[in-house]
Structure formats: C-alpha cells, structure tokens
C-alpha cells in the first residue's frame, strides 16, 4: 500500500524588500543673464570661481572696418578712413578676469 503524499507545507514568504525612491525637489532660481557692454561687470569668474569686477580692453572689430570702408566709399581716403581704428566707440570690448586673466565676455558692436 502506498502512502499518501504529505500535505503541502506552507512556507512564509521571505523578507519583503521595499524599493524606495528619493525625490529631490528644488525651487527654480532666477539667474540674471550677464550683459556685457562697455562698462566692467561684477560677476563670478567661470574659470577661477572668484567674485570679480571684469577689466575691459578694446579691440578692432567688424564695426570699425565697416566704418572705415564707408569713409573710403565717401571719398575720405587721405587718412580720415583710419579714424575708426583710433576711437574706442568703434571697437569691440573684451572682458577679462583680473585674477586668472581669462576672457569671460565680449561686447561686439556688430
């Protein structure tokens, strides 16, 4: 005579593992865009992370060349066409960090 099979044994489930997700909520902050013009700008240098006021230098750009060509076109060829290269109002402005000397911005007139 065959024995009846043993009753199925109940095994409790193993330890329950819960997956948790961490949600980080941040409030958006308004960041004022830097506008580089002719005057020095107070900012944080992206290269050395120092709080600085930029130093400015003038360099010949497209606008000075266009004014020079316009003066040549109107007949001012006896040296008057070179006036835009002497005026800072016709040149582009480069902004540099006084600490690390890196260029941090540029104001182009064209």
Which of 109, 1, 106 lies closest to 54, judged by CA?
106
Which of 34, 54, 46, 36 lies closest to 92, judged by CA?
36
Query: Whole-prediction pTM value?
Result: 0.68
CB atoms within 10 A of CB 91: 21
Over the stretch 53-106, which tens digit does the pLDDT of each residue have?
A: 999 999 999 999 999 999 998 887 788 889 999 999 999 999 999 999 999 999
Looking at 1-110, list the stretches that DSSP marks H as alpha helix, in order from N- to C-terminal side.
62-73
- The span from the CA of 77 to the CA of 68, in Å, is 9
Helix (H) or strand (E) holding 17: none
Which of 32, 35, 38 lies closest to 109, judged by CA?
38
Over the stretch 1-52, which tens digit does the pLDDT of each residue have?
A: 667 776 666 666 666 666 677 888 777 766 667 889 999 999 999 999 999 9
């Amino acid at each position: 005579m065959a024995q009846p099979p043993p009753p199925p044994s109940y095994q409790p489930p193993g330890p329950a593992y819960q997956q948790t997700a961490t949600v980080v909520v941040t409030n958006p902050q308004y960041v004022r865009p830097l506008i580089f013009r002719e005057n020095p700008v107070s900012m944080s240098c992206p290269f050395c992370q120092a709080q600085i006021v930029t130093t400015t230098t003038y360099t010949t750009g497209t606008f000075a060349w266009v004014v020079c060509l316009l003066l040549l076109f109107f007949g001012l060829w006896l040296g008057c066409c070179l006036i835009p290269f002497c005026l800072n109002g016709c040149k582009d402005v480069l902004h540099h960090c006084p600490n690390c000397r890196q260029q941090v911005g540029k104001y182009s007139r064209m």
